[in-house]
Each structure stands twice: as C-alpha cells, then as structure tokens.
Structure 1
Amino acid sequence: MKQRLLGWSKQLAIFLLLALIITAVVDVWRGKDFPKDNVPALVGMTLAGEEVDLAELSKDQAVVVYFWATWCPVCSFVSPAVDTLSEYYPVVTVALSSGENLRVKKYMQHNEYDFDVVNDENYDLGKDWKVKVTPTILIVKDGEVKWLTTGFTSLPGIWWRLMMS
C-alpha cells in the first residue's frame, strides 16, 4: 500500500510540475504583445459610481486587474476567486462587451459578486489593453504589469502571482 501511495504521489507531483510549466509557457506566449510598462490608462467609473484610477491605485501596492465578460463561460469559474480576493486586496475589474450597466448589475446581483466593475460596454478599454482572451488577469504594481495570465486560473494561482509581485 505504501508503494502504491508513493507512486501516486510521484505521478501527482510530475503532473503538477508539467501543468505549471505549460501554464507559464502559455502565459508568456499569450502575453508577448501585451504592454508591460507604460500601460494604457485605466480610468473609469464603477457601476457603484466610484472613480477608479489604476495608476494611482497601483502606487506602492500590487493590484489585481481582471478583464472578464458576462458571456464568458470560463469567467464564471474565475469570478468567484476574484470576488473572494477583492475582500482582502485591491482589485479592478472590467466587464468587456457585456451590455448596458443595468444588465451587468443584474448579472452581478444574480451571482452575488461584490467586486467593483468598470463596464466597458464598447470594448474601448479592451482594445487599449489589447485583451484578446477572457478572462485576462494582470498584477499591476507601480504602473507596470508584473504578471499576466489568461484563461482559467484559481484563487491560489492569483494569490501566488500577487504575492510574487
């Protein structure tokens, strides 16, 4: 029994290492055209009526920037992690091409998300930031992108990137 457990543990460790390597390679490939420094402005009004200025918010602290959409199936798995993280760390989220403010508000209420949202109804911020995949998550500190990941990620994955920034 110990041998079998040890064999499974080794296989799991190898699988996790391969998954980490593949994820890192995909992130690097998808982020090759993404602006790393001199990032575009991300200034806007949240659905709650609060002004957001990423450059100001990211001075001396890491900020999670989450580009997502109501129509994105993967976002429905990532958004709960972002919502949990937003209770403890600064988070700026941008809803891309998700409809009018009222539609996004209803979506947020239905899913019981509490994170603040800038609604990018016409995909203007998405174009400026060259977002091609939803979800896209960035860690920005001092106006520079420290980490970038796209597609599915978990709460530990986002938290780890945040701590490494």
Structure 2
Amino acid sequence: MPIKTNNMNTELQLKKTGKQKAWSWLKTLVLYGIVFLVIYTAVNWWRQPVMPANPQLQMTDYQGHTVNLAALSQDKPTLIYFWGTWCPICTTTSPSVNRLAAAGDYPVVTVAVQSGSNQQLTEYLTEHNYNFTTINDQQGQIFDDWQGQVTPSYVILKDGEMMQGLTGIQPLWSLKLRLWLSSMF
C-alpha cells in the first residue's frame, strides 16, 4: 500500500514540475516580448523621419499632377510612405499601402526614393499593379529633407503637421490604427 502512495506523490510532483515549467516558459516569453517591444520602439523612434522646419508640402507626382500634402491632411490624416523600387522590405509593405490607398479611407501619398526615371517608375508601378499617388524623388532630396534613414519609412500628417513617424514593416491593421488614432487626437 505505501508503494501506491509513493507513486501518487511522485506523479503529483511531476505534474507540479510540469506546471512550473510551463509558467517559467510563459514568464520568459512575456519578458522577452516586453524587451523586444521596448527595443523595437526605441529603434523605430530613433530612425523615424523628422519633419523639416520649412517642409515642401506641395509637390508634383511622377505623372505631373500637383499634390498638396497640407491640403490633403486638413480633412483626414494623410499617410506619406517613403519607399524604393530597390528596397527588398518595400516589396512586403507596398501591397498593404496600395490596399490602404485603394480603400480611400485616408489619403496616401508615396515617395519613391532614388527609383529611377519617371518612365522606369511607371513601368515598376504598372508591373506591380500599384495605383497609389507617387512622387518620384529621383535624387533622394525629399527623403534627405525629412532626415530619412531607412526605407520603408512612414509619416502621418494632420493639418500639415507630423503626428507620427515610423519605419520598417508595418501591417495594414497597424497603419489603419495609427491613422484612426491620429484622426481622434
């Protein structure tokens, strides 16, 4: 009879150890998640574009149409998306930006940084079925003015003022959430 009790105690101790291991793994995962978010936020903040003191908010897109960012951002927050045809990460983010632009909920203006001539840019946009408004920053001067460090980078303008700046891969839901929050505050 005592053998049975010892077996049951051993089984309880093993189960308890299993629960303890699970909690330990969960705590470690949460801790690493928090550390990742803090580091990601700090790096994102450091690399984000910075609005120039006297920004050029009226530009011409690659098709010759005038784009007035200050006017666009009066009614709703406007997303400015800095990207390049040469940027491998942009091949992941551009389709989401294209869907956001197609939805029409918020104005979207993209700046193609050092992506070739207007003809080359037209071919690239056509090949990828991108229909967003695009300004061709052939020399990278616009990106430099905004102190851009990496592509992709994003700026949210409201009433002609920068509300948010961010970089890297941003899923569609994140961009929508950030635009919505910018429209609330």
Shorter-chain TM range is 0.7 to 0.9
Structure 1: 5+ residue stretches without partners = none
In 2, Cα distance between the equivalents of 1:6 and 1:116? 50
CA drift of 1:23 comes to 2.8
Higher mean displacement: 118-127 or 11-20: 11-20
- Structure with larger Rg: 2
Q: What displacement does 1:10 show?
A: 7.8
1:159 and 1:7, CA in 2 relative to 1: closer, same or farther beyond 3 A? farther
Change (3 A) 1:49 1:6: farther
Count of aligned positions: 162
| 3-state SS of paired residue (2:163) | strand
The two structures, once aligned, show a CA RMSD in angstroms of: 2.6
The sequence identity of aligned pairs, in percent, is 38
User: Are the counterparts in 1 of residues 50 and 165 from structure 2 also a CA contact under 8 Å?
Assistant: no
TM-score with structure 1 setting the length: 0.83
Letter in 2 for 1:97: Q
Query: After the TM superposition, which residues 144-155 of structure 1 pair with which residues of structure 2 at under 5 Å, given as runs?
Result: 144-155=161-172
CA pair 11-153 structure 1, distance change in 2 beyond 3 A: farther
Give yes or no for contact 2:52–2:146 (8 Å, CA) kept in 1: no
Q: Does 1:135 align with 2:162?
A: no
TM value normalised by structure 2: 0.75
Deviation at 1:8, TM superposition (A): 8.9
Pick the structure with more helix per residue.
Answer: 2
Paired residues of 2:83 and 2:152 also in contact (CA < 8 A): yes
Partner of 2:46: 29
Deviation per CA, 1:14-53: give whole Å up to 9, x if none: 666555433322221223xx43574611322223332101
Q: Cα distance, 1:86 vs. partner? A: 0.5
Q: Which runs of 5+ in 2 are unaligned?
A: 1-21
